[in-house]
Amino acid sequence: MSTTAAFDEPDRLRDAPRDRLVSELTRIAALLRGDDAPRPQTDDSPLADLGHRLGLSAFECDVLMLAAAVELDARVAADVAAAQGGTPSPSFGLALSVLPAAHWDALSPDRPLRRRRLVRLGAGDILALRPLRIDEAVLHRLTGLGPGRLDGLVADPLAGGLTAAQAALADELAAAVRAVDGRVLVRLDGADADTRAGVVARLAAALGGGVLSVRDAAAAERDPADTAAVLDREAVLDGRLIATDDARLLALLEAEVVVTDGPGDVAGRVTLARTVPLPTASEEAALWRAALEVDAARTADAIVVAERELSQHFRLPAGVVAAVAAEWLALPDRDVATLRRLVRERSRTGFGALAQRIEPRARWDDLVLPEGQRELLREIERHVRHRATVLDDWGFASRSDRGLGVTALFAGESGTGKTMAAEVLAGSLGLDLYRIDLAALVSKYIGETEKHLSTVFDAAEASGAVLLFDEADALFGKRSDVKDSHDRYANLEVAYLLQRMESYRGLAILTTNLRGNVDRAFLRRIRFVVQFPFPDEASRAEIWRRVFPAATPLADVDPAALARIQFSGGAIRQIALSAAFAAADEGDAVGPEHLLRAATREAAKSERALTAAETGALRGGAR
Of residues 352 and 128, which shows the higher confidence score? 128
**Domain 537-619 belongs to what topology?**
Helicase, Ruva Protein; domain 3 (1.10.8)
Per-residue confidence (pLDDT) for residue 246, from 0 to 100: 94
The answer to whether residue 19 scores a pLDDT higher than 60 is yes
The answer to whether residue 354 scores a pLDDT higher than 90 is no
Per-residue confidence (pLDDT) for residue 611, from 0 to 100: 79
Q: How many of the other CB atoms lie within 10 Å of CB of 301?
A: 11
Q: What is the distance between the terminal CA atoms of the chain, rounded to a whole angstrom?
A: 105
The answer to whether residue 567 scores a pLDDT higher than 80 is yes
Alpha-carbon gap, residue 177 to 209, rounded angstroms: 13
Q: How confident is the model at residue 393 (pLDDT cuts 50, 70, 90)?
A: confident
Q: How confident is the model at residue 10 (pLDDT cuts 50, 70, 90)?
A: very low
The per-residue pLDDT of the chain, averaged, comes to 86
pTM across the whole model: 0.77
Residue 467: which of 437, 442, 512, 447 has the closest Cα? Answer: 437
Q: How confident is the model at residue 518 (pLDDT cuts 50, 70, 90)?
A: confident
Q: How confident is the model at residue 391 (pLDDT cuts 50, 70, 90)?
A: confident
Q: How many residues does the chain have?
A: 623
3-state class (DSSP) for residue 508: strand
Q: Which residues contact 464 (CB under 8 A, 6 or more apart)?
A: 313, 314, 315, 347, 431, 505, 506
The answer to whether residue 8 scores a pLDDT higher than 50 is no
Strand partners, 274: 188
The answer to whether residue 42 scores a pLDDT higher than 80 is no
Percentage of the chain surpassing pLDDT 70?
91
Alpha-carbon gap, residue 287 to 300, rounded angstroms: 15
CB 212 within 8 A of CB 242: yes
The answer to whether residue 106 scores a pLDDT higher than 60 is yes
Per-residue confidence (pLDDT) for residue 444, from 0 to 100: 57
Per-residue confidence (pLDDT) for residue 491, from 0 to 100: 65
Mean pLDDT of 541-568: 89
The answer to whether residue 63 scores a pLDDT higher than 90 is yes
The answer to whether residue 474 scores a pLDDT higher than 80 is no
Tens digit of each residue's pLDDT (9 = 90 or more) over 577-596: 999 999 999 999 999 889 88
Per-residue confidence (pLDDT) for residue 6, from 0 to 100: 43
Q: Which residues contact 451 (CB under 8 A, 6 or more apart)?
A: none
- Kindly state the helix (H) or strand (E) to which residue 275 belongs, with its residue range: strand 270-275
Tens digit of each residue's pLDDT (9 = 90 or more) over 246-258: 999 999 999 999 9
Classify strands 257-260 and 241-243 as parallel, antiparallel or unpaired: parallel
Residue 259: which of 217, 226, 225, 212 has the closest Cα? Answer: 212
The answer to whether residue 433 scores a pLDDT higher than 70 is yes
Mean pLDDT of 225-234: 96
Q: Where do the structural domains in the chain lie, given as residue ranges?
A: 5-142, 154-272, 281-346, 358-531, 537-619
Alpha-carbon gap, residue 231 to 250, rounded angstroms: 11
Q: How confident is the model at residue 487 (pLDDT cuts 50, 70, 90)?
A: very low
3-state class (DSSP) for residue 188: strand
The answer to whether residue 59 scores a pLDDT higher than 70 is yes
Alpha-carbon gap, residue 378 to 392, rounded angstroms: 22
The answer to whether residue 402 scores a pLDDT higher than 70 is no
Q: How confident is the model at residue 28 (pLDDT cuts 50, 70, 90)?
A: very high
Alpha-carbon gap, residue 93 to 113, rounded angstroms: 15
Per-residue confidence (pLDDT) for residue 577, from 0 to 100: 93
Per-residue confidence (pLDDT) for residue 12, from 0 to 100: 45
Per-residue confidence (pLDDT) for residue 452, from 0 to 100: 83
Of residues 617 and 48, which shows the higher confidence score? 48
Span 358-531 CATH architecture:
3-Layer(aba) Sandwich (3.40)
CB 161 within 8 A of CB 198: yes
Any idea which of 69-78, 411-420, 444-453, 543-552 has the lowest mean pLDDT?
A: 444-453
Alpha-carbon gap, residue 69 to 58, rounded angstroms: 16
